[in-house]
Amino acid sequence: ASLAYTHGSPRTTPYFVGRRFKDLWHNHFNTGGPGYTMSQATLRKLLHNIEADQCSPNLKTPKEDVTISQCLTSLGVHLTDTRDAKGRERYHHFDPGWMMDYTPRKRDVGSQIPQESDWYELYNREWGMLFGADCCAPDSVSFHYVPAGAIRHMHALLHQCQINEAFSRSTIEANAQTQPYCRWEP
């Protein structure tokens, strides 16, 4: 089911969906990288309250995603888990190849913190992560940091081609400037 459908009418039901993170200061927020989606009801609520103190109208910060999330939470619009039934994410902070190839850094025996700080793993610790082919829902909404050539390539794969071989980030990047890596099926 679509995310909007599970939340009711976008005109009357406030919802705010995206890729949830919890930063090192314990802020829960939908990250702005891959974008987030809000209903018309949420947008109206935000517009009517944007100057309210709980929305920090005078705050100058590069973290608009944290500020918007805190504002909406204070207005009663909470973050929604956008993972599918198998726990795969729909909004992605990196490109598909990075998401499929990602593995967490090794830990010291008995340590709860990675040896080197890996912000991505730390920001996902509360709800865990899936790796490899399980990283991404088939009905994913967005990916961040995707080069223009790779976007064209993915569009062709999704809408014009049938994949005839497995591909990885290196395959996408190698073929992104020429033509899609696919077999045309009439």
- 41-62 pLDDT tens trace: 999 999 999 999 999 999 999 9
Distance, CA of 162 to CA of 1 (rounded, Å): 24
Confidence of residue 158 (pLDDT cuts 50, 70, 90): confident
pLDDT at 66: 94
Nearest Cα to Cα of residue 131 among 105, 164, 99, 172: 99
Bridge partners, 30 (sequence order): 20
Instruction: Read off the tokens for 166.
Output: 């497995």
| φ/ψ (deg, to 5) at 168 | -125, 180
Residue 124 has pLDDT above 70, yes or no: yes
pLDDT at 58: 93
Instruction: Read off the tokens for 107.
Output: 């830990």
Distance, CA of 172 to CA of 150 (rounded, Å): 6
Confidence of residue 93 (pLDDT cuts 50, 70, 90): very high
